[in-house]
Structure 1
Amino acid sequence: MEKPVKSDRISNLPWDVLNSILVHLPLRDVARTSLLSRKWRYKWTSLSQFVIDDKCFPYSLPDKTRWGEIRRIFHLVQSNHNGPIEKFKLAAYCYPDHSDLNEWINYLTVKGIKELILQDFSFIRRFKLPSCLFSCPRLICLELHGCILKLPPTFRGFNCLKSLQLAQVSIISETLEYLITSCPALERLTLLNIDHLAILRIRNQNLKYLKIDSEFEDIFLQSSPLLASVDIRMIPVDGRSMPWSEERDPSNLIRVLGCLYGIKKLTLSSYFIKVGHSNEVIRPVVDFLKDQCLYNFFFSQLKVVRIRGLCGTRPELEFLKLILAHSPVLEALTVVKYGSERVPESLLLHVERASEKLKITSLSL
């Protein structure tokens, strides 16, 4: 008696169900499904999400061969894909061909891309983004690495964009400011090693998370009432701290702290609260931190504070006192000081504090 032929239940699943299964597998494994049968030969090329990273290739492959494999994968997708592509991530750790990137971004914008992530390339020169990228109405997440970003005159904003990350991107301050304000749904903003930043102005009513680790001369946080997590590492331009003058405010604290009413996690490091050592600089900063105008100012949501790279100056200590006295729900304060000596915990234990369940940790670099 002949055995009944088992039906291929997986192959007969609706494509939207198959797609939801396959997008959770590594691309290398998904591509292997082409060996199952003639019916499966190009099925993987119609996925709605593609994540191409170094896990797809043998570690020993040289750069040129690695990029050739990436090109081959994408050309198969271009030739056989049906439907939208919602996510595309490329992290190849090799030297990309700029003409290929231009062609692919053009293709992805037509496909209704929602998440575009280009990261971790080895760039000899910056890649200039094609203008078509800035006319993607459905973009939700955009992460760019090693690019030149210039907005075309036709740019009217990314109305759906919720997450923006720029790393080693060349962009001028005015362009960055306009880009941020032109994303009304933006919730997360990350800026890492940005080229050519001078004054950093950040204004966005919906912004909740901000991380900055870059060179810049000065910073303004304005009209961002929902900011809950802020992490700023200020690297001096050309390795030098900016000189103080009568035209500049003696400290950038007032422009940052003044809008952080909903802050829950605050991390400041490097030169962010460095103001110099002369009396003409220290005196106005200390006077500001002790001013009565801050008496009714509270960080009512702040629970975690980390401050790295303190030198032990009087303005820094006054700032710590301000945090302790105006953070009623603060649970953890970590202070990291340059040099072999830590900030004495006794110095912080005997100052006024608004929180009764605060744990203070003092470390040294």
Structure 2
Amino acid sequence: MKGKQPAKDIISNLPQNIIETILCHLHIRDAVRTSILSKNWRYSWTRIPKLVFVEDIFEEEYEWRQPRNLMHLESKFLYAMYQVLLMHQGPILQFTCDMRAGRNRFLIDQIILHLSRSNTVTELKLQLNGDGHPYVLPFSIYSLQKLTYLHLFDCRIRHKPTFSGFGSLTTLCLRCVSIYGETLLRLLSKSPLLKTVTLSLFCRGEHISFIELLECLPLVENLTIANEWIDMCLFVEAGPQKLPSPLVHLKYVSLDMCFVSDHGLSLLSVLIKSSPNLEKINLQSRRYYRDELCIETNPVKLEDYSDIWLEHLNELKIEYFAMLKTELEFVMLILAKSPVLKKAKIVLDTEVTKVEEMMLSRMLLKLFLVKLPVSPVVEISVERLPGDKN
């Protein structure tokens, strides 16, 4: 009788590239623990190109051992991160740090400095909660010249006149970021390959021109702008406005603003007139963004925007629709100016009553009954926000 053949150790003999691929899909804590599997795995984690540090996950394991102490946890988390970076041997291509930025901010400075010296990072995400005190980015971040993706949350960007730009950057997301208008324009203009841009900012200094902003984004395909920055930072000069060179690549626009105000409509009009290939528009007009008194006392004349034309628009979504007269007229205008529109979704504000909802549905149905100029294939839906019990 033949003896049993020993089981083949498949895990220990995996090719190095497969091991690194597996490790990239693990949390860094678990990746380090794979050192005990075999000799082949012992130092493999030090060569993975993707490093993700999330403080909340670190806390989940640490809290059951010791009483919660935020300052102590933050120090331990940063120390663990720093140790991983010191032991890391290969190039770091993707780096994520999600944590509270407390008293140890100088250590975050040192980590960014460390990344800038190797200058291999292509994707950087800093999700920092400063509890009302944004983390001030060090100038060393400008040395990351190979960045293609940059995501910043709760940070302050300082102006650096000698900044030469992010020549490879294609995606920029700035959320809850404090920045001077001049610095923003320089950052955008020095990143000529930007395709996806998200701006939700606390803008400092004087207002900047919306036209000037758009001129910095000649290749943009997806543009998202949030309200607090629109109202506080951007202005549009009186009269019809249009970019000298159209945004021919722009396909998707998302604006979180009171779009039925004169200011909001002016911004939207500039975007539409300058974007001949626009395919999708997403508008949000939250209740705390709307100044209904201003709308009522200064009614918007939609005929001033009758020259817009959305030849390629196939999807429209409006959220927090409040049944204001200007909102209704705006929807009718867009429906009439979008010959190939396929889907129009209206999500009602919680203050809209059931009776008003029925009125809106009848009004939209009438468009087809009287054969007004509406896309023949459009599907119009009226919905309520999840959890709305009205």
TM class by shorter chain equals: 0.7 to 0.9
3-state SS of paired residue (2:253): strand
CA contact (8 A) 1:167 1:194 kept: no
Find out whether 1:282 has 2:282 as its counterpart: no
Task: Give the alignment partner of residue 373 of structure 2, picking from 347, 350, 353.
Answer: 353
Question: In 2, Cα distance between the equivalents of 1:273 and 1:164?
Answer: 30
1:323 equivalent among 334, 344, 360: 334
Candidates 117, 120, 124, aligned match of 1:116: 124
Q: Which runs of 5+ in 2 are unaligned?
A: 237-241, 386-390
Q: Over residues 166-196 of structure 1, what are the superposed CA-to-partner deviations in whole Å (9 max), with x where a residue is unaligned? A: 1111012222222222222211111235344
Distance 1:126 1:76, change over 3 A: same
The 3-state SS of whatever aligns with 2:184 is helix
Q: Supply the distance in 1 between the matched residues of 2:227 and 2:73 (Cα, whole angstroms).
A: 30
Change beyond 3 A, Cα 1:307–1:207: same
1:1-365 alignment, distance < 5 Å: 10-11=11-12, 13=14, 15-36=16-37, 40-53=41-54, 54-58=56-60, 60=63, 61-93=68-100, 95=102, 97-111=104-118, 112-196=120-204, 198-199=207-208, 200=210, 201-203=213-215, 204-215=217-228, 216-217=230-231, 218=234, 222=243, 223-234=246-257, 251-270=266-285, 276-278=295-297, 281-282=298-299, 285-290=301-306, 294=307, 297-335=308-346, 336-337=348-349, 338-340=351-353, 341-342=356-357, 344-351=360-367, 352-363=372-383
Name whichever of 210-219 and 129-138 sits farther off: 210-219
Distance (whole Å) between structure 1 residues aligned to residue 330 and residue 73 of structure 2: 51
Instruction: Give the match's secondary structure for 2:257.
Output: strand
Contact 2:19 2:44 in 1 (8 A): no
Amino acid at match of 1:347: M
With over 3 angstroms needed to count, the CA separation of the structure-2 counterparts of 1:249 and 1:266, relative to structure 1, is closer
Q: Is the 8 A contact 1:213 1:235 kept in 2?
A: no
**SS state of the match for residue 252, structure 1?**
helix
**Residues 192, 219 of structure 2: 8 Å contact kept:** yes
Q: Secondary structure at the match of 2:174?
A: strand
Separation (CA, whole Å) in 2 of partners of 1:96 and 1:24: 31
Structure 1 residues 249, 6: CA separation in 2 closer, same or farther (over 3 Å shift)? closer
Whether contact under 8 Å (1:180, 1:202) holds in the other structure is no
CA contact under 8 A between 1:131 and 1:152: conserved in structure 2?
A: yes
* Cα root mean square deviation, aligned: 3.3
Q: Given the superposition, is the C-alpha separation of residues 331 and 51 from structure 1 closer, same or farther in structure 2, using an over 3 Å criterion?
A: same
Look up the SS of the partner of 2:296 in the other structure. coil
Task: Say if 1:264 and 1:310 are closer, same or farther in 2 by CA, change over 3 A.
Answer: same
Displacement of 1:80: 1.9
Comparing 179-188 with 304-313, greater Cα deviation is found at: 304-313
Q: How many residues align?
A: 349
Q: Which amino acid aligns with 1:276?
A: I
The Cα shift of 1:11 comes to: 4.8
The structure richer in helix per residue is 2
Q: Secondary structure at the match of 1:101?
A: helix
Q: What percentage of residue pairs aligned between the two structures are identical? A: 28
Unpaired runs of 5+ in structure 1? none
Worse-superposed segment, 212-221 or 108-117: 212-221
CA contact (8 A) 1:95 1:124 kept: no
